[in-house]
Structure 1
Amino acid sequence: MRLDKFLKVSRLIKRRTLAKEVSDAGRVTINGRVAKPSSEVKVGDILEIGFGAKMLRAEILELKETVKAEEAKNLYRIVE
């Protein structure tokens, strides 16, 4: 699955266009490498997303094309 689509489906970022902009700015890494919006993500990957001064680390647990809002948090877990 594409990175920008996963960020939207998982609701880590609300809109796919915003996910693309954040990725294009170099603020998203997959397993320590800067990622493009079209980068493929898979189960077990560690995402790091920079939100200003805050850094969010999440491990991908599951990939789905669509999920309900209450199920979106089951697609990843926050890693400290």
Structure 2
Amino acid sequence: MRLDKYLKVSRLIKRRTVANEACDAGRVSVNGKPARASYDVKPGDVIEIALGAKNIRAKVLSVDEYASKADASSLYEILSDE
């Protein structure tokens, strides 16, 4: 699944266009490297998001095309939230 779509489905970022813009601006990295919106997300990847004053590190646990609001948090594990 594309990185921008994963961020939206997992609700780490609320809108796919915002996720896409964050990737283009270099604010999203995967496994320590800046990632494009087209990056193919796999379980085990560590995603780092820097939006404003907030930095989030999350480990991908599973990749699903669709997730309800209640199930979205089961797609990842927060490693740090600053």
Instruction: Give per-residue Cα distances to partners, 1:10-66, cap 9 Å, x unaligned.
Output: 000011111000110000000000000001110000000001122100000010000
- Count of paired positions: 80
What percent of counterpart residues are identical? 55
User: Unaligned 5+ residue runs, structure 2?
Assistant: none
* AA in 1 matched with 2:73: K
Q: RMSD over aligned Cα, in angstroms?
A: 0.7
SS in 2 for 1:67: coil
State the TM-score, normalizing by the size of structure 2: 0.94
Q: Which residue of 2 aligns with 1:28?
A: 28
Question: Which aligned segments of 4 or more residues in structure 1 are displaced greater than 2 angstroms?
Answer: none
**Greater per-residue helix proportion:** 1
Instruction: Provide the residue aligned with 2:68 in structure 1.
Output: 68
